[in-house]
Structure 1
Amino acid sequence: MKRKSLLLALTVLLMFSVALVGCSGGSKETADGEKVLKVWAMGGEGQKLPELVKQYEQQNPGVKVDVQAIPWGNAHDKLMTAVASKSGPDVIQMGTSWIPEFANAGALLDLTSYMEKYPNLKEENFFDGAVQTMKHDGKVVGIPWYVETRVLYYRTDLLAEAGYPEGPKTWDDLKDASKKLTARGEGKYGITIDGRDQITTALFGWQNGSELINDQREPLFNQPEYVESIEYLKSFWDEGLVPQGLDLDLTAAFKDGTIPMFISGPWMIGTVKEKAPEIDGKWATVVMPTKKTNTSSIGGSNLSVFSHTKMADEAVKFVSYMSEKETQLKWYEMANTLPSVKEAWNDEKLKEPLVAVFGEQLENSRPAPFVKEWETIAQAIIASFEQITVGDADVKTELDALNEKAKEILNK
């Protein structure tokens, strides 16, 4: 009976796999011989991209681009299924933190040999931090599509009253300004620091000289540089300079001055403009405050070519098109995402001060540690940081435990 059940299960699985290959396979041709290039794009990008590819189709008669929009919540599992079936798209949008995992699984085509034919793909076109997301085991497996980084948003009027009209420049400035702003009275704070964002503690660790995880895949979360950065952050909780609750309406608090500073990405520019027009001209962005450096994160998405594609040349040509300056600028207007190509930042569209600060910060930014286990480690970091800031755990003891946990994850 068990043998029959097992055979039935295997038969069903095989039928499912065949069906999956048939419905989600890669390249194909239309009835009139037109080649169809399959592109998977995630979230809002997948909804907007079909409009952008029309120009590519006009420039490349005989090729139709079929964009499939995939919700971010389903994207990882769908990609894993594509890898297992060897029947995915031709071009894939990859979150940069996913690249090590899928490159390690052999899912991403090595683009090194295409660099001379398609110079748009060359490393010198992109910010140094984005270049770090392009390679895995010496192979070029992704091309930066768009980028984001984190900067400091601040109320210029309130910071001027605290003595920092151009925003805090150093860690000491940030602490001093936060103290003065909190001293305004009950219910007032200096800044909010989002401990639930996996990149928050990394920013401060980098700024104090920590590598987080070294090239030998050894975690450094209990080393002095990282420990000092967490102690610095903890002091904002200890001294009541940040709100303790997590149900905060950030835009409203920024508008009414309850919280005059926060760290975030470019998406908040539009949000503040839309929801808090009353403070137009009373807020700005500035690069991250400096300790040893003012390093921030770099994120965004890359475009990769599926290793099992039957249309590699067409796929790489499409990625090259997406890396053209004019394409990047058009995508910026359509999707409000920042160009990965440095040359695009010379355009007037990106000279607005609020936006230009992000270009300045991108010159000193880096990705999260490029290991496939990072997402799991990041969740452990968030839990430890909460124990330290809310649970009042001893910093060194908690970070020793975090370091051991990270070792276990990396050595599995």
Structure 2
Amino acid sequence: MKKLFSLFLFCSLLLVACNDDSETSGSNDKGEITVWAHPYTDNQEKEGEMWKELIASYEETSGVKVNFEQIPWANRDQKILTALAANNGPDVFYAIPDQMPQYAEAGMLVDLSPYLEDNDMDDFVESSLIPTKWKGKMYGVPILQSVETFMYNVDVVKAIGEDPSKLPTTWEEFEKWAAKAKEKGYYASSFQGGGSMNGTLYPYLWQAGGEILTEDNKVLINNENGVEAFEFINKIYNNGYIPKDSITALDHDALWDSGKLLSIQGAGKSVSRMLEKETFDFVIAPPLKNKKQATYGTTGMFVVPVNSDNKDAAAEFIKVITNAENQRKFNRETQFIPTRESAKDIYDDQKYLAQLASYTQFTQSGVIHPEGRNIMPLIQAELQTMLEGKKTPKEAADAAAKAIEEKLK
């Protein structure tokens, strides 16, 4: 039933798109646009003031009124699709990398490339632009990034006889530290096997020089590089370097807080949490490297649906909201990383966030493909089966590839 509902919505939107004037000029300017975004912090009062300031910076220069609505993260896809199919959706909405390709492939989004010729795109971090593109067209402009990498407990680093100023940078170095940690009664790191693949398999697979799925539907997860990533994870689990519950765990915060972990995979929110708790000193390491230095980091962008009544004004709003000054305001409040290099100076006086901001060049935002979200549980099931000892790394990688191919059919 869900598939039929989705198909109905997509077909409705395609009909709207075919009858819509998608040129960058001649749109029906009603003097107002509707913008949808999500809550990004726990302090909604301060976040509301931030949005008033950001919107005012656009309204004052454009003369266009902005109707802003905050929508919850839960059921966001259904709300957006239903509204757009009924032709009463927003002119601008926030999207993440596993949404954008689905919408773009269905013909739901405006190609923003023609609007951005004067937008100093060279100022954007290159890695932030990759998840905004699908089949040669740019459908979104990014406003935020994050970086996930290892954070080390300084006390544990010293306890295993290592130097906190010389953290592991390669798989080989990490394994040496992991073996020492185990000898001293610590786990080397966290592994949330019950969570997103973005925080478990994918970073290791990218570091091995691999890919999961290409834009033209080529499945690569079980090539030599992909199998190497499965093997590495299998080894650190079987050696006891990560907790026994790593197969299904959703977090290892309790182990980290109690000083049982040498390291944990974290991002900007992890830094804020640690600074609030003041439990112990920690240091941040650069993303690991095997054949390639890489890690996961999300990207958030604003997009324009094809049935917007005011595409010119909508595109201009996105340009204004993602300019350097507004990115400073937005990311200072939300504690994400600006996607413009020139706006990263907001963290010059915050050593941890400044360090994370310097690693955005190494981030990848998951599998940029319309099926990116849907193939994740298929891969996760095979990874978990491997960790349970029921399949070899090669068998698990091959089974994951077969499941992806079946899904694509």
Output the TM-score relative to the length of structure 2.
Answer: 0.85
| Paired residue type of 1:373 | E
Question: Structure 1 stretch 140-149 or stretch 250-259: which is displaced more?
Answer: 250-259
Mapped partners of 1:392, 1:132: distance in 2: 37
Pairwise CA distance, 1:360: 2.2
What are the within-5 Å matches in structure 2 for residues 1-400 of structure 1?
Answer: 35-44=31-40, 47=44, 48=47, 50-56=51-57, 59-60=60-61, 62-116=63-117, 118-120=118-120, 122=121, 124-162=122-160, 163-166=162-165, 167-185=167-185, 188-195=186-193, 196-199=195-198, 200-245=200-245, 250-274=252-276, 276-279=277-280, 282-345=281-344, 347-400=345-398
Larger Rg: 1
What letter corresponds to residue 36 of structure 1 in structure 2? E
Aligned-partner Cα distance in 1 for 2:376–2:119: 35
> What is residue 22 of structure 2 aligned with on the other side?
none
Q: Is the 8 A contact 2:83 2:89 kept in 1?
A: yes
Contact 1:40–1:68 at 8 Å: present in 2 too? yes
The alpha-carbon distance between structure 1 residues 52 and 385, as it changes in their structure 2 partners (threshold 3 A), is: farther
Structure 2: gaps (5+ residues): 1-7, 13-28
Contact 2:204 2:229 survives alignment (8 Å):
yes
SS of the aligned residue for 1:303 comes to: strand
Closer/same/farther in 2, CA of residues 57 and 326 from structure 1, 3 Å limit: closer
Q: Which amino acid in 2 is paired with 1:43?
A: P
Distance 2:55 2:215 in 1: 43
Shift of residue 179 of structure 1? 1.5
Aligned length: 373
Contact 1:43 1:70 in 2 (8 A): yes
1:193-252, Cα deviation, whole Å (9 max, x unpaired): 222222121111111111222353111122111111111111111011111225676344
Whole-Å Cα distance in 2 between the matches of residues 315 and 36 of structure 1? 9
More deviation, 401-410/359-368: 359-368
Which digits, 9 at most, give the CA deviation of each residue in 1:361-389, with x for residues without a partner? 21122222221001111111111111111
Q: Distance in 2 between matches of 1:387 and 1:407?
A: 19
The residue identity in structure 1 corresponding to 2:205 is G
Letter of the 1:372 counterpart: P
**Structure 1: how far apart are the matches of 2:400 and 2:236?**
21
- Are the structure 2 counterparts of residues 211 and 351 from structure 1 closer, same or farther at C-alpha, using a change threshold of 3 Å? farther
Change (3 A) 1:215 1:38: closer
Kept in 1, the 8 Å contact 2:59–2:65? The answer is no
Secondary structure of 2:65 counterpart: strand
Q: CA RMSD in A?
A: 2.4
Contact persistence 2:142–2:302 (CA under 8 A): yes
Q: Deviations over 1:18-50 (max 9, x none)?
A: xxxxxxxxxxxxxxx993321111233695353
Kindly provide the amino acid, as one letter, of the partner of residue 314 in structure 1: A
Give the letter aligned to residue 213 of structure 1: L
CA distance in 2, matches of 1:39, 1:177: 49
The separation in 1 between residues aligned to 2:67 and 2:296, in whole angstroms, is: 32
Counterpart contact for 2:30–2:309, Cα < 8 Å: no
Relative distance call for 1:315 and 1:271 in structure 2 (3 A) is: same
Contact 1:37/1:90, CA 8 A, preserved across alignment: yes
Measured after TM superposition, the shift of residue 61 of structure 1 is 6.4
User: 1:101: Cα distance to partner?
Assistant: 0.5
Alpha carbons of structure 1 residues 252 and 272: separation in structure 2 relative to 1, 3 Å: farther
Deviation at 1:54, TM superposition (A): 4.3
**1:1-28 CA distance string (max 9 Å, x none):** xxxxxxxxxxxx9xxx9xxxxxxxxxxx
Give the fraction of aligned pairs with identical amino acids, expressed as a percent: 23
In the alignment, is the contact (CA less than 8 A) between 1:149 and 1:361 conserved in 2? yes
CA distance in 1, matches of 2:188, 2:116: 48
Name the residue aligned to 1:20.
none
